[in-house]
Amino acid sequence: MVGSSIVTVDGINAFANASASGTSIKPKYFKFSSHNINMDPTIKDIDGWITQEINLYQVINNETVEFVCDVAPTRAVDYTRSCGLYLEDGTLFMIAKPPYPFPPGLRQTFKIQLVYQNASELINFEYLPFSETEQSLSILDTNTQIGLLTYEVKEDIEKLKQRADAIYKKEVGDKNELKSNINRVESGLKSEIERVEKAAHLDVLNSNAVLGNLLFKTREKIEKIKLI
């Protein structure tokens, strides 16, 4: 899968005005949005969950420039389905979409390529000279791949935990039920023994017979419960 990007109508106009006046445009910041925004070049703004300055750029050739919009895992609090790239004056310059939504809690990195005639001559990069950034494209690529792998591993671990919890709950529940049943039978046996012993109208033989029969039946119940 590949991502996609477009230059907005306002972005094209900014390019045209810069070319006509001999000035330059200044891409400054971006917004990450959790909304699946339509790639409509007439859009003026997007609703983003984070606004941040562009991290770095790279001039591929005279007509191709690559912007990198990167959010650290500690700041990535939502899914990113769309990105807006803005000029210094607040103009929505480009709209971009990743090949798949970036999940929260991981490094989220957009690399947006712009192809436009004489692009490198019309864009002012004085704010973000590539040589001064502490990050590199290779590091961002590595972090993105590791982040995605970590996310997948976390999902697998969570599923294993849920399965283990279910097994544990079942096993402990059965053991607790077994213990409860045994305690209940033993308590009933004790009460019945006391009752028999106190039955003055029964002779000793009868009492022993009743008690022996009760013990035998109770032992059978306990053995059946232990087999659960």
Contact 12, 23 (CB under 8 A): no
Mean confidence (pLDDT) of the chain: 74
Contact 107, 143 (CB under 8 A): yes
Nearest to 197 by CA among 186, 208, 212: 208
Average the pLDDT over 123-135 and give the result.
55
Whether this prediction's pTM lies above 0.75 is answered by no
Per-residue pLDDT at 92 exceeds 90: yes
Alpha-carbon distance of 27 to 100, in angstroms, equals 24
Residue 134 pLDDT: 44
Nearest to 65 by CA among 22, 1, 128, 14: 128
Residue 174 pLDDT: 59
Nearest to 225 by CA among 191, 190, 188: 188
Alpha-carbon distance of 80 to 52, in angstroms, equals 14
Percent of the chain with pLDDT over 90: 20
Per-residue pLDDT at 61 exceeds 90: no
Structure confidence by residue, pLDDT tens digits, 150-167 = 556 566 666 777 776 676
Please report, for the chain, the start and end positions of each structural domain, with discontinuous segments joined by +: 4-133, 154-226
Residue 216 pLDDT: 59
